[in-house]
């Protein structure tokens, strides 16, 4: 990456620690890891959209392989550091990848969260100053366990926030039962990194998708729409007003929020029910205001067009570079070399705000260092 003198920080970068991979290997429903005689690497199968091809490959050894190869990039810390060094990344804020602990029973998730968070903490301590992490919460556990998990991760030296999916306790992020958790997270000064996993229902993609369109529809459209819907529900439920100290980084530059915020605003203003119920009166913070006051966006959008919309929506001082490593590896060049998915995001920043500009330096690392306190141990 052409980023001389800039301290590059990657805030969107995942891992599955070995203990988590073990659980996936033992499972028969997604998420799971499965080996196939025709492939060298095991396959990591995560998404609902991959279930059909999993069934087909299980029955027919000539069928296309489901999911994605589970390479060393997913679980090896040495590989993460090699990736950072290859791309000039000085600091990474690592997080467990989707679907986190969502599939564990309420009796299992508390213990697993504790051990995964300790494992991330240990990994960070092996590279002091270079690695920080977003912790994982046991969302299927009882409230008491969840709140204890927030206290636990607050005390972990390298923890700077929590990674959160869109399901919350099972009913979404506008669920009033989730408020005590969001309040505890905000009070602990932990930034939420909101990340999608479930996308949209499979039927939306049509009957040709599984055989012909690869992962494009669920990843390019399902993920961003999921984030957009989750945050809009939070906004409509007044969650941002109820938890004013809540700070959220939205994955993939906020899904489609920067583009759709104006339409959301207009729909609110013109909604008879909301107006009748007094929800559109004086004192209401607009979506735009919430975006500028409580939301940060990552810069994982791969083009300057999307990035400019993100900058317009929240301000260049609220955007943070990310790679989405270990997802989107190069398919035709060496995985140990430079990744095109990374250079696309870096180039988008340069094209949007100008090479060597103060804004470029802020987005590529400066913002993350100050927002996530990465210059403090
Ligand atoms: O390629 C994928 O499926 C994914 C995923 O599951 N999670 C993610 O963060 N990026 C890509």
**Ligand 1 in reach of 310 Cβ (< 6 A):** no
Task: Please indicate, yes or no, if residue 113 is contained in any of the structural domains.
Answer: yes
Task: Please indicate, yes or no, if residue 292 is contained in any of the structural domains.
Answer: yes
Alpha carbon of 157 to ligand 1 centroid (Å): 27
Instruction: Give me the pLDDT at residue 377, please.
Output: 74
Instruction: Give me the pLDDT at residue 1, please.
Output: 61
Residues 84/4, Cβ–Cβ less than 8 Å: no
Instruction: Give me the pLDDT at residue 376, please.
Output: 86
Task: Please indicate, yes or no, if residue 234 is contained in any of the structural domains.
Answer: yes
What is the distance in angstroms between the CA of the first residue and the CA of the last residue of the chain? 27
Residue range of the domain that includes 289: 8-17+76-371
Q: Specify whether 68 is located in the same domain as 107.
A: no
Measured CA to CA, the distance from residue 40 to residue 285 in angstroms comes to 53
In total, the chain counts a number of residues equal to 377
Question: Atom 11 of ligand 1 has which residue's CA nearest to it?
Answer: 327
Alpha carbon of 224 to ligand 1 centroid (Å): 12
Show which of 38, 54, 74 is a domain's final residue. Answer: 74
Q: Residue ranges of the alpha helices (H) in 298-339?
A: 304-314
Alpha carbon of 88 to ligand 1 centroid (Å): 23
**Ligand 1 in reach of 327 Cβ (< 6 A):** yes
**Ligand 1 in reach of 44 Cβ (< 6 A):** no
Count of other CB atoms within 10 angstroms of residue 226? 24
Instruction: Give me the pLDDT at residue 347, please.
Output: 97
Alpha carbon of 327 to ligand 1 centroid (Å): 6
What are 12's two structure tokens? 């969107």
Q: What is the CATH number of the domain that holds 80?
A: 3.20.20.140
192 forms beta bridges with 162, 248
DSSP string of 76-127, one letter each residue: -HHHHHHHHHHTTEEEEEEEEPTTTTTTS-HHHHHHHHHHHHHHHHHHHHTS
Q: Specify whether 36 is located in the same domain as 121.
A: no
Instruction: Tell me the C-alpha to C-alpha distance, in Å, between residue 166 and each of 27, 180, 232, 333, 363.
Output: 23, 16, 11, 34, 25
What are 189's two structure tokens? 């000064």
Q: Residue ranges of the alpha helices (H) in the chain?
A: 18-25, 51-59, 77-86, 106-125, 143-154, 179-187, 209-212, 216, 223-236, 239-242, 257-269, 272-276, 287-294, 304-314, 340-353, 358-361, 367-371
Strands 295-298 and 319-320 turn out to be parallel
**Ligand 1 in reach of 223 Cβ (< 6 A):** no
Sheet with 131-136: strands ordered across = 8-15, 89-96, 131-136, 159-164, 191-194, 248-250, 295-298, 319-320
What are 321's two structure tokens? 């570079």
Say which DSSP state 222 is in.
I
Q: Specify whether 86 is located in the same domain as 69.
A: no
Alpha carbon of 376 to ligand 1 centroid (Å): 30
Alpha carbon of 172 to ligand 1 centroid (Å): 20
154 by Cβ neighbours in 10 Å (0-12 / 13-18 / 19+) ranks as: middle
Instruction: Give me the pLDDT at residue 5, please.
Output: 76
Question: Atom 10 of ligand 1 has which residue's CA nearest to it?
Answer: 327
Instruction: Tell me the C-alpha to C-alpha distance, in Å, between residue 82 and each of 73, 225, 341.
Output: 10, 33, 16
Instruction: Give me the pLDDT at residue 4, please.
Output: 57
Spell out the SS3 assignment of 190-203: CEEEECCCCCCCHH
Q: Give the pLDDT of the chain (377 residues) as one tens digit per residue.
A: 655 578 999 999 999 999 999 999 999 999 999 999 889 899 999 999 999 999 999 999 899 999 999 999 999 999 999 999 999 999 999 999 999 999 999 999 999 999 999 999 999 999 999 999 999 999 999 999 999 999 999 999 999 999 999 999 999 999 999 999 999 999 999 999 999 999 999 999 999 998 999 999 999 999 999 999 999 999 999 999 999 999 999 999 999 999 999 999 999 999 999 999 999 989 999 999 999 999 999 999 999 999 999 999 999 999 999 999 999 999 999 999 999 999 999 999 999 999 999 999 999 999 999 999 999 87
Task: Please indicate, yes or no, if residue 151 is contained in any of the structural domains.
Answer: yes
Residues 190/132, Cβ–Cβ less than 8 Å: no
Work out how many domains the chain is built from and give that number.
2
From 13, 30, 32, 46, the mutation candidate for ligand 1 (largest count of ligand atoms within 8 A of CB) is: 46
Distance from chain centroid for Cα 31: 17
Q: Specify whether 351 is located in the same domain as 253.
A: yes
Show which of 74, 97, 113 is a domain's final residue. Answer: 74
| Nearest in space to 252 (alpha carbons), one of 231, 238, 267 | 231
What are 242's two structure tokens? 């109820």
Q: Specify whether 173 is located in the same domain as 26.
A: no
């Amino acid at each position: 990456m052409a980023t001389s003198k800039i301290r590059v920080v990657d805030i969107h970068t995942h891992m599955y620690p070995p203990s988590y991979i073990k659980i996936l290997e033992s499972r028969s429903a997604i998420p799971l890891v499965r080996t196939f005689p025709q492939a060298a690497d095991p396959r990591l199968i995560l998404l609902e959209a991959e279930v059909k091809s999993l069934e087909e490959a299980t029955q027919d050894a000539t069928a296309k392989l489901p999911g994605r190869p589970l390479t060393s990039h997913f679980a090896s810390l040495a590989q993460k550091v090699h990736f950072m060094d290859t791309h000039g990344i000085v600091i990474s804020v690592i997080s467990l990848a989707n679907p986190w602990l969502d599939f564990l029973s309420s009796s299992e998730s508390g213990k697993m969260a504790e051990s995964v968070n300790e494992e991330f903490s240990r990994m960070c301590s092996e590279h002091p100053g270079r690695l920080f992490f977003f912790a994982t919460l046991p969302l299927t556990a009882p409230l008491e366990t969840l709140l204890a998990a927030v206290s636990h991760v607050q005390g972990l030296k390298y923890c700077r926030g929590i990674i959160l999916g869109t399901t919350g306790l099972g009913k979404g992020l506008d669920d009033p039962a989730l408020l005590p958790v969001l309040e505890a997270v905000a009070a602990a000064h932990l930034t939420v990194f909101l990340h999608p996993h479930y996308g949209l229902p499979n039927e939306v993609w049509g009957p040709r998708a599984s055989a012909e369109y690869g992962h494009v529809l669920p990843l390019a459209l399902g993920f961003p729409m999921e984030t957009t819907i989750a945050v809009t529900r939070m906004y409509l439920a007044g969650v941002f007003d109820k938890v004013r100290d809540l700070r959220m980084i939205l994955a993939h530059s906020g899904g489609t929020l920067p583009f759709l915020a104006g339409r959301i605003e207009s729909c609110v203003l013109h909604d008879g029910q909301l107006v009748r119920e007094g929800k559109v009166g004086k004192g209401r913070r607009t979506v735009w205001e919430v975006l500028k006051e409580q939301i940060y966006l990552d810069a994982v959008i791969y083009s300057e067009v999307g990035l400019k919309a993100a900058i317009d929506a929240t301000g260049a001082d609220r955007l943070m570079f990310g790679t989405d490593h270990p997802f989107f590896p190069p398919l035709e060049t060496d995985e140990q070399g430079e990744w095109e998915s990374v250079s696309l995001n870096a180039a988008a920043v340069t094209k949007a705000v100008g090479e060597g500009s103060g804004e470029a330096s802020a987005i590529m690392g400066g913002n993350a260092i100050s927002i996530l306190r990465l210059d403090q141990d």
